[in-house]
Amino acid sequence: PSQLELFDNKPKLKELEGKPLPPSVIGDQRYAFIQSNAAVLGPRFPFARHGQSGAELSDKLPHLAKVVDEVAIIKSMYSDQFNHAPGQIFFNTGFAQPGRPSLGSWLSYGLGAASENLPAFVVMSTGGGISGGSALWSAGFMPGKHAGVRFRNSGDPILNVSSPAGVDAKLQRDSLDLISKLNRRRLEVEKDPEIATRIESYEMAFRLQSSAPELMDLKSEGPAMLKLYGADPAKPSYGRACLLARRMVERGVRYVNIIHSGWDAHSNVAGNVTKNAKATDQGSAALIADLKQRGMLEDTLVIW
């Protein structure tokens, strides 16, 4: 999202609204999507100060404004990437080209798994498509077991994780043991670490069959908690993903990445930001407030 419309008020832009872009901005450089005769576009929304910190936020973030004293707004970061996929990959891995481990993969590698029944690194997505694709949660040159495991936002977290009708746990365990035995024979011959990753993946999928239903069932949260997040147990949403993220962290997941795409505003800044801020504001604020009331914010970092 545009920080200029949400977190970083620019009164000077408002003052220059509609005027030609100052020559000093472009100089002799050529930039994609920026013409030399472009006019200045000021902020689309009013800002106000909130909390004891007096942090300025757009009026499109009313929920986040209530917890702003728990938030550190960093305005010194920048990127030299302006296209969607390279920018997303850069944000998640530190490099614009695919092939490097993502942040979640480094945490999985450095901290290890805290739960035997859930992955160390989980990815969920809401909103539109993901330009950078799986490179955003790739393990890069590290063992594949450190890559993010993509969960769906509703129903079974992973397709086909539920046993087919008529297949009980014993039959599936026997089948998995046979597959594992064959894979280990292949591992002895090939010495390929990705075969070991596949063996571990099969075992994790088997354990998820018992741990996932309890994790994904939000009925135990109660009406008040669902209202806080703006989450409907039966419908996928950003708020529901945030609530699931808290439940995952409680159960030992090291890193949860929620990707909300669709911020590509172009000429529809007001409509696009209004829509996406409404989709993400309540869930983000609820996650911060919920973690704090549970004492989990002391050792949990939330990056928005």
Is residue 192 included in any domain, yes or no? Answer: yes
Confidence (pLDDT) at 211: 86
Q: Is the pLDDT of residue 36 over 90?
A: no
Is residue 184 included in any domain, yes or no? Answer: yes
Domain that holds residue 190: 169-215
Out of 37-51, 187-201, 284-298, least confident range = 187-201
Is residue 299 included in any domain, yes or no? Answer: no
94: left (phi over 0), alpha (psi -120 to 50) or beta: left
Q: Is the pLDDT of residue 32 over 80?
A: no
- Residue with structure tokens 């942090």? 55
Is residue 183 included in any domain, yes or no? Answer: yes
Average pLDDT value over all residues in the chain: 91
Is residue 205 included in any domain, yes or no? Answer: yes
Is residue 190 included in any domain, yes or no? Answer: yes
Q: Is the pLDDT of residue 33 over 80?
A: no
Confidence (pLDDT) at 234: 85
Say which residues have a Cβ less than 8 Å from residue 212's Cβ, sequence separation at least 6: 156, 157, 158, 161
Is residue 174 included in any domain, yes or no? Answer: yes
pLDDT one-digit tens code per residue, 207-264: 888 888 889 889 899 999 999 999 998 899 999 999 999 999 999 999 999 999 889 8
- Give mean pLDDT, residues 100-111: 97
Total domains in the fold of the chain: 1
d(CA 129, CA 168): 36
Question: pLDDT tier at 286 (50, 70, 90 boundaries)?
Answer: very high
Is residue 199 included in any domain, yes or no? Answer: yes
Predicted TM-score of the model (pTM): 0.90
Confidence (pLDDT) at 169: 78
Question: pLDDT tier at 206 (50, 70, 90 boundaries)?
Answer: confident
Kindly list the distances between the CA atom of residue 87 and the CA atoms of 34, 142, 167, 190, in Å, as whole numbers in the listed order.
Answer: 18, 22, 45, 37
